Amino acid sequence: MTTTAGGPVPSELHDLPAADGTRVRYRSWLPTGDVRAVLQVVHGASEHSGRYERLGRALADRGYAVYAMDLRGHGHTAEATGVGRFGAPSFAAVLDDVVALHLVARDEQPDVPRLLLGHSMGSIVALASAERDGEGLAGLALSGPIGAAPQLAEQVTALEGAVAAGMGDQALDALGAFNQPFEPARTPFDWLSRDEAEVDAYITDPLAGDEMPLTYAYAAGVFGAAVSVATPDAVAQLPDGLPVLLLSGSRDPVGGVDAAQVTALAGMLADRGLPVDQHVYPDARHEVFNETNRDDVTADLLAWADARTAG
């Protein structure tokens, strides 16, 4: 087991040796004693790894070494790629970055189990990563996931058409429609959480929200992946016996009414023969780790993770 001395290690930014040379930035939260497991967090659209400080510290306090990058087009990595851009030919570069960060964590924390957690857009990345590179994963957790959403195929076709017409690098309002169920609303981002302070923190964060939009090309890649990864053929590529945890709010517009799309994905994973745990939190919205019931959500994640890494 790997140990660290002193108090909790703060989340400082580091450079990830990305396969194509892009300067991808990441941070980590490390336990003060023995490391139980590594847990890699993949954040959502128009946000960044620093928004997971509270969760990272809670997990580190329980013995998990937590690693999270700023995805291409986001946070401090956008300084290298451009805002909302891959800085590479395709979505596959993001999956390569997930592997690169895993290798860093493995070298720093050898011989411990590996867990992967993806939130929102990050759940698409995490599921795709587990399907392509999931051998050896002890568990996959998805929060605020889009679930099975084949209806997005038409939107992907439209986005690809816009890219072909030369709009690939133009900014896209990919999140605006999610607030409609909450109108009249206090802010354009009420759909994120019932906690007004959390919503306001998101709005004023210079690395989140309207300050960090996706481009048409980025959205086409991500939404295309969302459709392709949530099919029986795709989930067949997941490692045998991989435990999956699904965490969503009943009023999260991303996962469908009453999390219907997430439940559809849960059924697909169960049909694959995987052990699936699903939690749908009544009245909770999209960012379950920033919701008013976030302590319960974090406790559910920890209980599931502890069971996956016991012994």
**To the nearest 5 percent, what fractions of the chain are helix, strand and coil?**
45, 15, 40
Is 216's pLDDT higher than 80? yes
Is 278's pLDDT higher than 80? yes
Q: In this structure, are residues 32 and 4 in contact, taking their beta carbons and an 8 Å threshold?
A: yes
Burial of 7 (0-12, 13-18, 19+ CB in 10 A): exposed
pLDDT, average across residues 275-281: 98
Percentage of the chain with pLDDT > 70? 96
Is 258's pLDDT higher than 50? yes
Q: What per-residue confidence (pLDDT) applies to 176?
A: 82
Domain boundaries, the chain: 14-149+224-308
For the chain, how many helices (H) and strands (E)? 10, 10
Whole-number average pLDDT of the chain: 95
pLDDT, average across residues 73-95: 96
Is 189's pLDDT higher than 60? yes
Q: What per-residue confidence (pLDDT) applies to 17?
A: 84
As its CATH architecture, domain 14-149+224-308 has 3-Layer(aba) Sandwich (3.40)
Q: What are residue 129's phi and psi, to 5 degrees? A: -65, -45
pLDDT, average across residues 281-293: 98
Q: Which residue(s) pair with 69 in the sheet?
A: 26
pLDDT, average across residues 142-166: 96
Confidence tier at 4 by pLDDT (50, 70, 90): very low
Is 10's pLDDT higher than 70? no
Q: Which residue(s) pair with 23 in the sheet?
A: 17
Residue 112 DSSP label: S
Distance, CA of 53 to CA of 12 (rounded, Å): 11
Q: In this structure, are residues 145 and 248 in contact, taking their beta carbons and an 8 Å threshold?
A: yes
End-to-end CA distance of the chain: 13
Is 9's pLDDT higher than 80? no
Is 227's pLDDT higher than 50? yes
For residues 176 and 154, the model is more confident at 154
- The Cβ of residue 254 has, within 10 Å, a number of other Cβ atoms equal to 24
Q: In this structure, are residues 154 and 258 in contact, taking their beta carbons and an 8 Å threshold?
A: no
- Under DSSP, is residue 289 helix (H, G, I), strand (E, B) or coil? helix
Q: In this structure, are residues 240 and 273 in contact, taking their beta carbons and an 8 Å threshold?
A: yes
| Cα–Cα distances in angstroms (integers) from residue 275 to residues 133, 208, 269, 278, in the given order | 19, 34, 8, 10
Overall size of the chain counted in residues? 311
What secondary structure does DSSP assign to 250-282, as a single string? TT-GGG-GGGHHHHHHHHHHHHTT--EEEEEET
pLDDT, average across residues 58-80: 97
pLDDT, average across residues 40-47: 98
pLDDT, average across residues 12-38: 95
